Amino acid sequence: MRVAQEAGHHLWFCQSRNILWRDDLVVADCQTLVIKPSSTSWFELGSIESRSLKSFSVVFMRTDPPFDIEYLNTTWLLSAAVRQGAKVLNDPAAVRDHSEKLSITEFAELIPPTLVTRELSAVEKFHQTHRDIVIKPLDGMGGMGVFRVGSDGLNLASIVETLGENGARTLMVQRFLPEIAQGDKRVLLIGGEVVPFSLARIPQGNEIRGNLAAGGKGVAMPLTEVERKIAERLAPVLNQRGLFLVGLDLIGGYLTEINVTSPTCFVEITEQSRFDVSQFFLKALEKELS
């Protein structure tokens, strides 16, 4: 937002709850947003105005998971706005079609051994095969609800029953990747192009999660050859579907997630690598809108 404002663009803000269908139009009760230099009060909002979404150059949806019914309702309203001529990024239909966990199954040859199930017996069989596994819910973020079960199988049934709410919720189970010690790499795709630096989110202490929200240490690194090949393969495919901004998660050269709702790490990569991700984003956006 700061870079866009410095380039002369005008910013507006609203929450999902402020998007309405009214008088045959998708509108937002929104406010002007001005970024300020002060770190204590870094933005200023104007008075509330009602504007149709199609009146903006572009609309970004930056809502964190969980991907619940209200999230879906917002994407359906945004799809209606697209039909009326609004430019929405990421495309709401593409966001609906890409579960951040399940979308990796489209690229099965790039992912670690993976199981998706609600059945405890299937998880137990998977554990018998791979011995060291990670279990996670399909709608979590920031490392929330991620458990590792080692070769002793300690608490496996209890974890599955709790996370899966006794079979009511689907879980993803993957072979544990020891390369997580070198970081869970976030690789950004913007406008079909690959940012040449990742942010390795490195677990600290006895933690297995590298997520920054879980206390991981973020270290910017140039992409490895394997990471670049995976990113260059997926970038044009996902961009063609309307996924302008994507955050791939890679561990040890394996694809583990495709983040399309609110990918982050712009600031950390820019500060540590001197590659200005925000400028890269803005140029790609201006090209998209030209």
Domains and CATH numbers, the chain: 2-97 (3.40.50.20), 113-175 (3.30.1490.20), 180-289 (3.30.470.20)
- 283 burial level (CB within 10 Å; 0-12, 13-18, 19+): middle
Active site residues: 101, 136, 186, 201, 209, 249, 257, 259
Q: Which residue has the tokens 């040890």?
A: 252
* DSSP bridge partners of 255: 250
Does residue 153 have a pLDDT over 80?
yes
Q: Which band of pLDDT confidence, cut at 50, 70 and 90, is reported for residue 221?
A: very high
Q: Which band of pLDDT confidence, cut at 50, 70 and 90, is reported for residue 114?
A: very high
Which tops the pLDDT comparison, 223 or 64? 223
The whole-number pLDDT of residue 38 equals 72
- What proportion of the chain, given as a percentage, has pLDDT over 70? 96
CA distance 117 to 224: 32
Does residue 19 have a pLDDT over 70?
yes
Which value, to the nearest 10 degrees, does the dihedral of the CA atoms of residues 164, 170, 175, 179 take? -90
Q: Which amino acid makes up residue 213?
A: A
Non-local (6+) Cβ contacts of 182 within 8 A are: 200, 202, 252
H-run or E-run covering 187: strand 184-190
pTM summary value? 0.93
Choice among 119-128, 144-153, 187-196, 199-208 with the minimum mean pLDDT: 199-208
* DSSP bridge partners of 222: 197
Average pLDDT value for residue range 59-81: 93
